[in-house]
Amino acid sequence: MLALPPDAILEDIANEIAGVERIDIHFPSFKDGRGFSLAARLRERGFEGELRAVGNLIPDQARLLKRAGFDRVAPDQSGQAERWNAALTAFSGDYQPAEDKTEPAFARRARKTRAALADALNADYADRPAREVLAAALDRFKGRIAVLSSFGAESAAGLAMIAEIAPDTPVFFLDTERHFAQTLDYRDALVKRLGLTNVKILRADRDEAAAEDADGQLWRRDSDACCALRKVRPLARALAGYDALITGRKRYHGGVRETLEPFEFDGVRIKVNPLAGWSREDVQAVFEKLDLPAHPMVEQGYVSIGCWPCTAPASPANVRDGRWRGQDKTECGIHQPLAAGGQGGPLL
C-alpha cells in the first residue's frame, strides 16, 4: 500500500507506484479537489490497483469519487455506509465526462438527435442514386465529414465520385505498416489520377505500438488486438471533431453488411454508405465508364485487399472470404457500433 498527499507529483514517484496494489489518497478537506485530479491521472496512466480516498470527505462526494476512479473511501467519520451508498444513486445522470466513461447528459441528447437524423435521412434517401446520397451528405455535414478508404479493389469507384463533387474532402487512409507494396503504389497513383487534394495518412501511436507489438508479430498472436492498435484507435483519434464518415461498404459483401442502409448511426457519429445498394456489376460499370485503373492484385485473385498477413485470394462470389482466412472474423472493428460507458458499485 502507498499513501499519497493530494499534491503528489506522479513523475517523481513513478518507481514507487510500480507494482503497488493499493493507493490511499488523502483529502485534508472536503473542499480540496486535488485528490480527484490525482486519482484521474493515475487511472489515465494505467494504474489498475485499488484507489482509496481517505480523510475529510462527505457523502455528497460519493458519486464524484467513483467517477474520478476511486474504488473505496475511508472518511474521517465512520458509521455512514448507508448514506454514502445512497449518494451513489441520488442522481440519475451526469453532466460532465469523467474517468468512469459514463455518458454525460449532453452526449445522450446528442446521440438521440443523431440517431433520429440518420433515420430521417434514410427515409428521404433510401432509394436515391449513390451520387445523390453522397452529395446530400457532403452538403449536410460540410466541414465535418471525411472519407475512409482502403484504396483496395473497389475503392476507385467511390473515390472518383468524391473527386467529382468535392475533391478537397478529407480522405483517411489507415497505414497499418502491413499493407502490400502494391496497395501503397496504387494509392499514390489513384490520388494523382483523381486529383484528391486532402489525403490523410493515419498510423498507430508509436508508444502504443512499442508497448503492444514490440516484435511486430501481434497479428500472429491476436489479430483483434492488432486491428485495434493499427486501425480502430488511430481512426477514432482522427475522427475527433467530425460528425460523419463516408465508407465504401456494400450489401453484397455479405455478413453484417447485408443490412446496410445509406445512413447509419454508430453510437457517436453518422456513417454514410452511398454505395450500399451497389452490385459487383455496378462497380465494374463505373470502372469501365471512367476508365479507372484496377488495383494490381485484382488480377491475382484478390477481391478484398487489406494487410498482407491477413489477406488471401477469394472467389468473387464471397468477397470477404479472403480476409482473416481460418479465423471466425470478417471485420476489423472500425465499423463496430460504439456504446456508452457504465457505472460502478458501492464505495464502502
Residue-wise pLDDT tens digits, 165-205: 999 999 999 999 999 999 999 999 999 999 999 999 999 99
All structural domains of the chain with their residue ranges: 2-87, 105-322
Residue with the bigger pLDDT between 74 and 92: it is 74
Cell of 331: 471485420
Predicted pLDDT at 348? 55
The whole-number pLDDT of residue 267 equals 86
Are β-strands 199-202 and 2-4 bridged in parallel, bridged antiparallel, or unpaired?
A: unpaired
232-277 pLDDT, tens digit each: 999 999 999 899 999 999 998 888 889 999 999 998 899 999 999 9
Cβ of 233: how many Cβ atoms within 10 Å? 17
**Can you give the C-alpha Rg of the chain in angstroms?**
25
Task: Report which of 329, 288, 328 is spatially closest to residue 306, judged by C-alpha positions.
Answer: 329
What residues form DSSP beta bridges with 244? 145, 270
Which residues neighbour 316 within 8 Å (Cβ) at sequence distance 6 or greater? Answer: 280, 303
Q: Report pLDDT for 340.
A: 46
Task: Tell me the pLDDT tens digit for each residue of 276-335.
Answer: 999 999 999 999 999 999 999 999 999 889 999 998 888 877 777 878 887 888 888 888
Taking the model in full, what pTM does it have? 0.72
For the structural domain made of 2-87, what CATH number should be given?
3.40.50.2300
* Residue 203: predicted pLDDT: 97
Let me know if 332 is a catalytic residue.
yes
Query: Inter-axis angle of helices 155-165 and 280-290, to 10 degrees?
Result: 60
Q: What's the pLDDT at 315?
A: 80
Catalytic residue among 227, 307, 310, 332: 332
Residue range 208-231: average pLDDT?
95
Fold that domain 105-322 belongs to in CATH: Rossmann fold (3.40.50)
Q: 476512479: which residue's cell?
A: 69
The answer to whether the beta carbons of residues 205 and 234 sit under 8 Å apart is: yes
pLDDT 10s digits, 94-103: 666 666 666 6
Query: pLDDT digit string (tens) for 53-91?
Result: 999 999 988 888 988 899 988 887 766 777 777 877 777
Asked if the domains at 2-87 and 105-322 fall in one CATH topology, the answer is yes
Residue whose C-alpha is closest to residue 272's, from 281, 264, 284, 282: 264
Q: Of the ranges 6-20, 142-156, 331-345, which is most confident?
A: 142-156
pLDDT, mean over the chain: 89
